[in-house]
Structures are given as structure tokens and as C-alpha cells.
Amino acid sequence: MSSALSTLDAARRLAERSRTGAAWAIFKPMMTPLNSDELRMDPASLYREELFTDRRIGTIRMLTPVTSAGAPDGSRAVLYVGETQLLTPGGLLPLSFEIEATSLADAIEKFGAGANDAVERTRREIEQLRREAASSIIVPDRMGGFDPPGGGGLPGGGQIRLR
């Protein structure tokens, strides 16, 4: 018990010395109180989750609807979500996609097509982000405001020229 107290005391002392450090975040009270109504789970939207994987390509999450008592809810459909990773030059990119299926066997069969769709959708989103980033770059053709009084500004008139 004394070990736990001394660790807690040490963390408090560290927090007092460094109010911006990670240790301070543990003891600092929350700035905005949480609304308990926002933190309530919806008892009509509960699912039991089961994971299936081949330990090679990906994972299928089977979400079975249940009542608040935990019994299967036959009035709602079972949902299937596929997950895999895409190796990119920047590292692994997680992909998650819904699979329209009526059974686990059907979801396994449709996994590849869903993964291909997710890769294509991600590629389009990345291309869109690249276009937006490229269009936000402003290349001035003149460097106005840099001419000192009496002339003699920057050579070349502010235009970029390759030699």
C-alpha cells in the first residue's frame, strides 16, 4: 500500500512541477462537464459483436442485434463489417467496410469485393485531398511589396525561371 501511495505522491509532485505535462492531465479537472444524457447507450440499438479472421487477409465483425436483456433481436438484421490493412509508402492504412450479406459464409465470399471497393474509395479520397492541397498553393508571378524605395528590387521580376 505504501508503494502505491508513494507512486501517487510522486505523480502529484511531478504534476505540480510541470502543469503542462502529461502527468498534470491526470489530475486536472475537466474544463467542460459531460452531459450524462449524451453518454447514455441506446438500449434499442444494442449488438453482440463476434470476430472472425483468417489471420492472413483480414477480419469480419459480425454484429448480431440483441435486446437490452441480451437475447437475440430477430426484428433487426445481422450486420457484417470487413476490416483489412493496405500497405502504403506511408505505412499501414486500416480499411473498414460494410458487407451486404445474409450469412457469415456470404460475408466471407463478398469480403474481397468489399475490400477492393474500400481501396478504390480510399484512393479517390486521397486524390481529392491531393487536388485540394495543390489548388491551395499560391504562386505569385510578381513579388509586390519587396521593392525598396529607389528601385533595385529582387532580380528577375519575381518570376521563377529554370536555366
Measured at the CA of 41, the angle between CA 40 and CA 47, to 5 degrees, comes to: 175
Decide if 46 contacts 65 (C-beta within 8 A): yes
Burial class (CB in 10 A: 0-12, 13-18, 19+), 151: exposed
Give the angle subtended at the CA of 24 by the CAs of 23 and 30, to the nearest 5°: 125
pLDDT at position 74 is 94
Residue 78 contacts residue 64 (beta carbons within 8 Å): yes
When pLDDT is averaged across residues 80-102 and rounded to a whole number, the result is: 94
Question: Contact 157/140 with Cβ under 8 angstroms?
Answer: no
Quote the pLDDT of residue 34. Answer: 74
**Mean pLDDT, range 16-20, rounded to an integer:** 49
Average pLDDT along the chain: 78
Per-residue confidence band for 151, with pLDDT thresholds at 50, 70 and 90 = low
pLDDT average, residue stretch 70-98: 94
C-alpha cell at 161: 525561371
The count of residues in the chain is 163
- Average pLDDT for 35-40: 80
Q: Which carries the bigger pLDDT value, residue 14 or residue 37?
A: 37
Is pLDDT at 28 greater than 60 in this prediction?
A: no
Q: Which residue is associated with the grid cell 437475440?
A: 72
